Amino acid sequence: MDLMFSLSWIDALALTGAMAVLAAVPSTSVMAVVARAASSGFGHGAAMALGVVAGDIVFIAIALVGLAVLVEWLGPVFVVIRIAAAVYLVVLAVQLWRSASRAASRSELARGGTALGSFSSGLMITLADQKAVFFYLGFLPAFVSLEQVTTPDAVALMVIALVAVGGVKLIYVAVADRVSQRLSGGGTGLIQRLAAVVLVLAAVVVVVRG
């Protein structure tokens, strides 16, 4: 087993804890998944959270392969992704605001969207930030030698991201969903409008942070 893994179990636990803490820090992705869960329910929030994790996994893979130079060359691609992510978030915000005006329920909103759409928006939010790959290039070496990473190491790192980042985002989703359910009824329209404002703010952050 030692010959297969260069990542020790102690380093794996430390990495899991560090990634969980970083995932818990308020960010664009946290804003987006909370707004999505509060407005359309746990399923859509979870799908968006999974998309966020998928984006992290993509960047981890890029960091492991060492394509930092390629990422710089692909700068225009990141700009397009960032704009697309912001536009999609604004579209969701407009839908929420309009639905609040006609008193649409959360169940109607959930039926109006798709899990794939929620997943895609979460993925784009993460991929829109090209700085993330440089973060992982600087972050991962503290726990594992990128020059000695084996295939089992790579799989383990992606599972850690899924558990740590995904677990934290799901906690946010569950809390937002529960609070929204308790405030349902007369407060549904207010929740939807607040979620719309949060999504617009997330869109602005996605555009300006690049």
Predicted confidence pLDDT, tens digits, the chain (210 residues): 344 667 788 888 988 999 999 899 888 889 999 988 988 889 999 999 999 999 999 989 888 887 656 666 666 776 777 788 788 788 888 877 777 666 555 555 555 568 888 999 899 988 887 777 778 877 888 787 777 788 888 899 999 999 999 999 999 999 998 888 776 555 566 767 777 888 888 788 777 765
- In a domain, residue 67? The reply is yes
Cα separation values, 188 from 3, 40, 94, Å: 56, 11, 16
Asked if 60 contacts 136 with a C-beta cutoff of 8 angstroms, the reply is yes
Q: Let me know if residue 167 belongs to a domain.
A: yes
User: By residue range, what is the domain housing residue 151?
Assistant: 9-208
Count of domains forming the chain: 1
Look at residue 4 and tell me if it is in a domain.
no
Alpha-carbon Rg for the chain in angstroms:
18
- Whole-angstrom CA distances from 175 to 18, 103, 162, 166 are 22, 23, 19, 14
The C-alpha atoms of residue 26 and residue 64 are separated, in whole angstroms, by 26
Residue 2 lies in a domain: no
In a domain, 201, yes or no: yes
74: in domain: yes
Q: What are phi and psi of 6, to 5 degrees?
A: -95, -15
